Amino acid sequence: MNRFTYLYLLLAVFFIHACSTTNTTEQDDQDREVAEQDQRPYQEEIDSLMAEMTLEEKIGQLNLLSSGFTETGPTLQDDYQDMIADGNMGGIFNGFTVEHTRDLQRIAVEETRLGIPLIFGFDVIHGYQTIFPVPIGETATWEPDLIKEASQVAAEEAAAAGVHWTFAPMLDVSPDPRWGRIVESAGEDPLLNEIFGEARVKGFEGDDLKDLNTILSTAKHYIAYSEAEGGRDYNTVDISERMLREIHLPPFRAALDAGAGTVMTAFNEYDGVPATGNQFLFNDILRGELGFEGFVVTDYTAIPEMIEHGVAADEADAAELAMNANVDMDMQSINYVEELPGLIEEGKISEDQVDQAVERILRKKFKLGLFEDPYRYSDYDREEETIMRDDFLELALDISKRSIVLMKNEDQTLPLSREEVNDIAVIGPLADNQYDLLGSWSAAGEYEDNITLLEGIRNNVEDNTNITYAEGTELEFEDYTTDGIEEAVEIAEDADVAVVAVGEGRHMSGEAASRVSLDLPGAQEELLEAVHETGTPVVMVLMSGRPMTINWAEENVPAIMNTWFLGTKAGEAIAQVMFGDYNPAGKLPVTYPRHTGMSPYYYNHKNTGRPMDPDERYTSKYIDEENSPLYPFGFGLSYTTFGYDNIQLGSDEISKDGTVEVSVEVTNTGDYTGEEVVQLYTRKMVASVTRPVKELRDFEKIELDPGETRTVTFDLDAEQLYYYDKDMEYGIEPGEVRVFVGTNSEEVLEDSFTVR
């Protein structure tokens, strides 16, 4: 090659490279624009609308007030309708039904200068009017696809009744059964909260928010609300950043990836700063790392609560903190309406900050199609046709059966035989009780629609079966009597079986319903003991929103069904399971401790330097109670039995981005066709930071006929095992990983492999 040819070639290469660089840059710009448009649609419409808005009208968009009955707080603004007319309102919550939402929307659209429609929010947590099991119960199905369908139904009903936006799903990983809101969670495990959070978001939001059977969802409560000290609601939280990132953030990341359009601030503090004014949480992590483009709403009056927290001197101070954390919408305190104009005048915050918040809220209103037709979700015919449709009720029944966890079944007490059981005594304060079946947060659910256990049993027996009923005692902490126990004993004495429904009332879990004791309230255990004394076999039906210390029952009662609060179809579902029309397969998404004093109590704990040893005093344990769980995480029986055998790993060694195949043989060793949730856990044996003794990595629900064996295979990616090392680097260090596969978190087969 001569000098000229070489130069020529060099120039040619340079030219081609320059052209391709230009092209790539142009292409990049175009791609970026498209991506931005995808993420920020309706920009032109928003810009031209905002150009017309006064500062007061803009701030009005950041205001969200309750229109009616509210479960959660002290302040109720009587003049909210005037505020709508004055253009001081962006949204209303707790306002539902077509009639009510049309009335309020009319004020916004017809009486304000710009006619910007309101957004209507509501706590549609486990159904709108067709009520599904409470979230902890839904999670016990271990069937996220089914729970996605339940959320779709909830969205379709809500969207037909004027509601645009639900304050769900709750993603708080909940390790403490004293905390009442555990009922709204997917339990104590991060992976379950991730998977079920994602399913619920997809169910609510669907493919396009404009579809009339979808609503906007809320990832809440951001963040770590469930770590309240002592399990006392609204209490202080003090956790490490490692815990924040490993336990609490993953469900939020999953929910946002699934498309959750809004995020709600938590009441608690993180690292000394209340979440609602916490710039690290919102600016750095949520908007920065997670790239969240939707809007953030506060929890109920959380902005002025920063005064009580002691980080704001007054309301103005609180508003400034919240605005600087990019918190867009103020729920229920009218703090932004009152304080932002002054703060802007003083130059403490900029109008640009307000503009950004307004833009984020307006974008959702455009996405919902509210500017095309503000009444599109409020259609009388659709409301009439949609609410409690037959197929919705059928799904509720199916999910209710699948949520039931069989906790004990000595001598195959269950299923009951319709032929052999001729006399059934139905006993207990929850036996003929429609009201409590709704559970906490029941949206537009009407308790009169619920099928009680007594009714369910009546519907499911032969005509000549004799059914008697006695309440026994009341569902109260204090004002209860024991007078009814005698009658309960009398009917039990004459019966072939006594079905005793005990537990908590619907408001004994949920918000502001923390307990110091997980025991059955009132005289319910006394009732249970008295009925058991008769010698008639007892089937205990437990209803509650949290783990309960039912140690006596576990020792003495032959059969226990854990039924949470199952909602509209409760009684029917329980009866069908009781008589064997459906073989129960639910598994616990939470650990049941033996004593309240063990709380918080969760399976994925650290090993400590002195792991519990029952025979060694100086180990990590309590001296006045057995230290094992009453029921472990992942536990649940079936009318059949399953055997696990032959755990196999595809390789002994994998790289940091490799995959190992884990397989196990599962056999139905009993007499009924049944479903089983096969669970996969791991433990990193040595790392630069301490690791949990077990972490759920995957699961699969399978159905097997009697005698049938199936090989279940999981592809376990090293990436699923990543954690933050001592330098907060995310990844996995070399060394042994132990693998466990089994029917619950304790009964497992194990093997191990090495990460290179």
Structure tokens at 637: 């029986």
Q: Least Å distance between CB 512 and ligand NOJ?
A: 9
Question: 555 Cβ partners below 8 Å, 6+ apart?
Answer: none
Per-residue CA distances from 548 to 177, 351, 590, 631 (Å): 8, 51, 11, 10
Which residues of the chain form contacts with ligand NOJ (CB under 6 A)? Answer: 72, 123, 167, 220, 299-300, 511
Reading phi first (left if > 0) and then psi (alpha if -120 to 50, else beta), residue 31 is in alpha
Nearer to ligand NOJ by Cβ, of 43 and 70: the residue is 70
Spatial CA neighbour of 133 closest among 544, 735, 578: 544
Q: Least Å distance between CB 262 and ligand NOJ?
A: 11
Write down the catalytic residue from 172, 233, 299, 698. Answer: 299
d(Cα 39, Cα 322) in Å, to the nearest integer?
24
- Max distance between CA atoms of the chain, in angstroms, equals 112
Are the beta carbons of 561 and 574 closer than 8 angstroms?
A: yes
Nearer to ligand NOJ by Cβ, of 297 and 530: the residue is 297
Nearer to ligand NOJ by Cβ, of 123 and 383: the residue is 123
Q: How many CB atoms lie within 10 A of CB 462?
A: 9
Element (H, E) at 197: helix 190-205
Nearer to ligand NOJ by Cβ, of 171 and 499: the residue is 171
Q: Least Å distance between CB 68 and ligand NOJ?
A: 11
Question: CA torsion angle for 618, 623, 625, 626 (degrees, to 10)?
Answer: 30
d(Cα 630, Cα 592) in Å, to the nearest integer?
5
What is the chain's percent helix, strand, coil content, to nearest 5? 35, 20, 45
Residues in the chain: 756
Are the beta carbons of 176 and 223 closer than 8 angstroms?
A: no
d(Cα 94, Cα 641) in Å, to the nearest integer?
46
d(Cα 497, Cα 225) in Å, to the nearest integer?
43
Alpha-helix runs per DSSP H in 452-611: 453-459, 485-493, 524-533, 551-556, 570-578
Q: Burial level of 720, CB count in 10 A (0-12/13-18/19+)?
A: middle
Q: Least Å distance between CB 546 and ligand NOJ?
A: 17
Residue with tokens 């699969």: 700
Nearer to ligand NOJ by Cβ, of 440 and 473: the residue is 440
Q: Least Å distance between CB 219 and ligand NOJ?
A: 11
Q: How many CB atoms lie within 10 A of CB 371?
A: 17
Q: Least Å distance between CB 244 and ligand NOJ?
A: 19
Q: Burial level of 372, CB count in 10 A (0-12/13-18/19+)?
A: exposed
Q: How many CA atoms lie within 13 A of 516 on its CB side?
A: 1
Catalytic status, residue 314: no
Nearer to ligand NOJ by Cβ, of 223 and 499: the residue is 223
| Crossing angle for the helix pair 485-493 and 524-533, to the nearest 10 degrees | 30
- Sheet-wide strand order for 538-543: 405-409, 559-562, 538-543, 497-503, 423-427, 466-470
Nearer to ligand NOJ by Cβ, of 331 and 573: the residue is 331
Q: How many CB atoms lie within 10 A of CB 463?
A: 4
Question: 672 Cβ partners below 8 Å, 6+ apart?
Answer: 580, 583, 638, 639, 640, 706
d(Cα 660, Cα 653) in Å, to the nearest integer?
8
Compute CA 475 distance to the chain's CA centroid, rounded to the nearest angstrom.
Answer: 26
Taking CB positions, which residue lies at the least distance from ligand NOJ?
A: 167
Nearer to ligand NOJ by Cβ, of 138 and 246: the residue is 138
Return the sign of the alpha-carbon dihedral for residues 553, 593, 674, 640.
negative
Q: Least Å distance between CB 71 and ligand NOJ?
A: 6
d(Cα 201, Cα 255) in Å, to the nearest integer?
6
d(Cα 19, Cα 25) in Å, to the nearest integer?
10
Nearer to ligand NOJ by Cβ, of 181 and 402: the residue is 181
Residues serving a catalytic function are: 299
